[in-house]
Amino acid sequence: MSTYRNPVLNADWSDPDVIRVGEDFYLTVSTFTKVPGLPILHSRDLVNWTIIGHAVTSGYDDVRPGCGVWAPALRHHDGRFWIFYGDPDVGICQVNAADPRGPWTAPHVVKPGLGLIDPCPLWDDDGQAYLVHGWAKSRAGVNNRLTLHRMATDASAVLDEGTLVIDADLLPGYRTLEGPKLYKRDGTYWIFAPAGGVEQGWQSVFRAESIVGPYEDRIVLEQGGTDVNGPHQGGWVDTPSGEHWFMHFQDRGPYGRVVHLQPMVWKDGWPVMGDDGEPVTEGPVPVPGGAPGEPAASDDFAGPGLGLQWSWQANPDPSWWELRDGTLRLACVPGPEDLRERAAVLGQRLPGEPCTVTTTLTLDGEGGDGRAGLAVIGFTAASVGLESTPDGSVLVCGDAEPVPVEGPVTVGARIGAGALVTFLADTGRGLREIGAPFQATQGRWVGAVLGLFAAGSGTGQAIFDGFTVQKGSQ
């Protein structure tokens, strides 16, 4: 493949940051309260990406939309990989590892406090270390500003009270300045930071001869005449041959924040991104010759573990699930009826293009009161699946009339243009539509999720025989 098309990651890979180590590229993203969190993606060409692990393996015990792991920064320093992220209810945290596949250290709080978000470190040439971060108005009461700290070189703590290096309230037209990434190039300090909000914002860069400023700014990427709204928040990376690229997200509502790749050149002392500051639709692959690849979606449940694309809505209990004989078995555990509030939902990102999702489901348990199935979850939720009754299992989907069934049933969802969902089921006559169409919606800072669930008093279990995502289906 010699040409790529945007988005290169067409699903909810929010707030991406990217680095190169040798000939390998690594990327991580926000995961909020998903468990595991902070996925690590690997590529050899910036276009084809696969998931190789996670840097955070635990979170909250209950579902807290919009909390948890916000906008990470990924760096490689002193032979180790480092990820800094903000938890707006805890403070600025870091994890690190010798191998990006793990194991990673437990999260360590570098700076405690409310509303501390979007951190990024810099280890300078003279041995000093620094940390820049933004502010969440919902917790701190302020935003639209960036604060810089001196930091211990082992990233154990910040060493001062901090310096306000950019007050965007003083910059005409600026609002919601956030997501800073701190770099140094040829003796000049750079802060790449988006502003204007995720739906209609832009990407700015700031430069200074001293790390504490004063900084001057320039907008380097905005929608212009394209259909890429709010192109911003990401990372700058170079290739082994010395070319420069910028990866950023675009908010696409129910599809979440999809990732675009922009060429970048330096001109008159400033970076120029995309096509003279506007996003490109396609371009030459940065490093030719790479093998095609994309983050996994389908899963045959052959083990030994769940596919790396899966996550729970909060900390899972090991008793919730088991892989056995090529199937996933979910216990029908108690919990909120509302799937949006239920920790025991196993989910993955909704693809950003039309697709058909199917799984074959059996509800097992004599006299159980379980229900299980396939769901699409955002601010709203809907599902198709099976429910136990005194007379046996019935197929249920929204307001549709329940249909008695025996044995395994294939259920599915056809995701059409605009993330309009049509649920499907096969009761012996092939996959057919069931229930009313459902408009998928985004969640709190995230896109919609495809989820598998099993609910009840704990007396039964749901058996899922494979999970298939066929893209391009209508």
Task: Give catalytic residue positions.
Answer: 15, 178
Residue type, 54: H
E strand segments, 129-221: 129-135, 145-151, 163-167, 181-185, 188-195, 202-208, 216-221
Rounded-to-integer distance, Cα 348 and Cα 295, Å = 11
Question: What does the buried/exposed string (b/e) look like for 177-193 if buried means 16 or more CB atoms within 10 Å of the residue's CB?
Answer: bbbbbbeeeeeebbbbb
Please give the structure tokens belonging to residue 279: 């996003």
* Distance of alpha carbon 221 from alpha carbon 205, whole angstroms: 9
* Alpha-carbon gap, residue 391 to 93, rounded angstroms: 52
Query: Where is 137: in which H helix or E strand?
Result: helix 137-140
Do residues 386 and 396 touch, judged by C-beta distance below 8 A? yes
CA distance 413 to 374: 8
Q: Report in angstroms the alpha-carbon separations of 233 from 126, 156, 259, 318, 378.
A: 28, 26, 10, 36, 23
